Structure 1
Amino acid sequence: MKKRYNENINRFIFNISKSNFQQIISRVILYCITTFIFINMMTSIGGCFAMRETEDIISNLSFSHDGKNVVFDRCHEGDCQIQVYNLETGELAAYQSPRNEQWTMGKYSYDGKKITFSVIPIKPNDDLDLGNMQIAVMDADGKNLKKVTTGSGAKLYPTFSHNGKKILYACAARIREKGKTPAADYDA
């Protein structure tokens, strides 16, 4: 009786493990296919966006937790904006930043209702003021924009806490001047 019970338990565990493994593999394959299609659409010469012809750069991709949208930076000749691509409908939308700001590094909240991102001020000479970057939050539809940080320092890569009540980000106290400080100093 005990041997039969153990065999049934082992068969049950094997079936659960096999089922979970198949689900995980299915999700990974779906993710890879979706990513492959998205990247090929964005980079194909004859595709919707003809990215190679305009030399656009796509970076900082962030998928919504329901898997329906991806928010990303799209940069062309130094001008960047946050865009959203709907994976179900193929619709592409862009958030319009004010002329004196550049928005970058968008991330969805876990419930998908908000996006947090870095705001880079643009100086009068059109240089980016990286030393005064701020973090902002807005609704996923682009409404209710609010800057949530102040003060100097580069504030980068914001992300929501799981409950959406806090934002974690990296902060550099200062930005080194070009050519003044090596990125690394070591003996080989």
Structure 2
Amino acid sequence: MKANLPFDDIRNPRFSPDGKQIVFDIANASFYERIRIYLYNLETKELSTYKAPDGQSFEMASFSDDGKKLVFITSPIGDRNSSVYKQRNEILLDYQIATMNVDGTDMQVLTSDKHLKIFPAFSHKGDKVIFAMAEKIRDKGATPASFYNLWELDLKKGKGTMFMGKRFSFYQMGYSTYFNDDETVLMAGDGPMDNLPNGVNFRSFSDETNNSNVYQIKRAQAELNMPILMKFLSSNNATMDKNENIYFYADEKKEGLKLRKLGTNGQFSKWDFPIKQGGTPMGMSVSKDGKYVTYCFTSSISQLMLLDTNTGVWSEIVLPKTAKEIQVKSNNGIR
């Protein structure tokens, strides 16, 4: 079966471990599910989409290190005649973590608690999943949830625990990535609001740290260390290659937003983005070997771009107009 694709809003791209495929979301109000996970093969140019079980919507997928599984978020669609925002207390509180094989078989829903969970990612050993979880659904404002903390799901024990030793309650959070030791995480967090030093509040902390949102966090640490990359303005959306080189975007002085790399040798590199102004970043990922960065943004249209880090040349990934549907088969049922 083919699925028609009005490419309205591309989000959250993530490379496969071999760098040959990219998984990402497309959100469109005309979709029955509102948002879908897509899989694009960079070699064959084939595009696929995962057909969720009835009543469910999939998003925010990441690969396991062996390339065999995806971890993602499944949520109820709710009333299609009403917006997600109006149903946020019903829909957002039922965002659950699930896994499946890349071919869509053996889907398993791993959580059931009533909290908003976002941006899951496997550990390198594949036995744990790191994710952000919100403690508060907001009654008003453009941001539907806040008070996020970093959590970890132990897949062998079937138990989730807070990754850090205290709640720091970030206003917003993004994807986190395990360092190679699986004990430390590169975390994106905006505006900690709890357990800050005396006399420090949300705004003064942001000012002091140059609004850097990138942290290096060790499991069970009880104090919030200062964010890394504070020499730049608004460092964000950090990710790593297999050698633990850190890729992120940030401003510096008045040169504008650029893609940057902090090498393990302490040296910085930078690349211009494919659009100078007017684009809203919607996600970024680096291949394991560090050869490519994929980045999506929305301006007048939504585009998925690919950077060759050796040549510094960006190219647009032109997606096919149709996609092969992969029927997802649930192993433990949908609540």
Q: What TM bracket, shorter-length normalisation?
A: 0.5 to 0.7
TM-score by length of structure 2 reads: 0.37
TM-score by length of structure 1 reads: 0.65
Secondary structure at the aligned position of 2:58 is classed as strand
Q: Which has the higher contact order (CA 8 A, sep 6+)?
A: 2
Q: Distance in 1 between matches of 2:43 and 2:112?
A: 37
Kept in 1, the 8 Å contact 2:22–2:39? The answer is yes
Cα-Cα RMSD: 2.8
Matched, 1:93 2:53: no
Matched, 1:176 2:131: no
Secondary structure at the aligned position of 2:62 is classed as strand
Cross-structure match for 1:135: 97
1:59–1:68 CA distance, 2 compared to 1 (3 A): same
Q: Distance in 2 between matches of 1:138 and 1:94?
A: 14
Q: Out of 24, 29, 51, which is 1:72 matched to?
A: 24
Per-residue deviation at 1:84?
0.1
Q: Out of 105, 117, 124, which is 1:162 matched to?
A: 124
Matched, 1:62 2:21: no
Q: Distance in 2 between matches of 1:173 and 1:186?
A: 20
Secondary structure at the aligned position of 1:95 is classed as strand
In structure 1, runs of 5+ residues without a counterpart are 1-49
Q: Distance in 2 between matches of 1:77 and 1:101?
A: 15
Q: Out of 114, 124, 133, which is 2:69 matched to?
A: 114
1:126–1:120 CA distance, 2 compared to 1 (3 A): farther
Q: Out of 123, 130, 153, which is 2:78 matched to?
A: 123
The residue identity in structure 2 corresponding to 1:151 is D
Per-residue deviation at 1:118?
0.8
Matched, 1:151 2:113: yes
1:60–1:179 CA distance, 2 compared to 1 (3 A): closer
> Highest Rg: 1 or 2?
1
Secondary structure at the aligned position of 1:84 is classed as strand
1:86–1:153 CA distance, 2 compared to 1 (3 A): same
What per-residue deviation string (whole Å, max 9, x for no partner) do you get for residues 82-138 of structure 1?
000001100000001123111110000011000000112122455440112100000
Q: Distance in 1 between matches of 2:47 and 2:7?
A: 18
What per-residue deviation string (whole Å, max 9, x for no partner) do you get for residues 150-184 of structure 1?
11000100000000111111111231122499978
Secondary structure at the aligned position of 2:137 is classed as coil
In structure 2, runs of 5+ residues without a counterpart are 85-90, 147-170, 172-190, 192-201, 208-335
Higher strand share: 2
Q: Distance in 2 between matches of 1:142 and 1:98?
A: 11
Higher helix share: 1
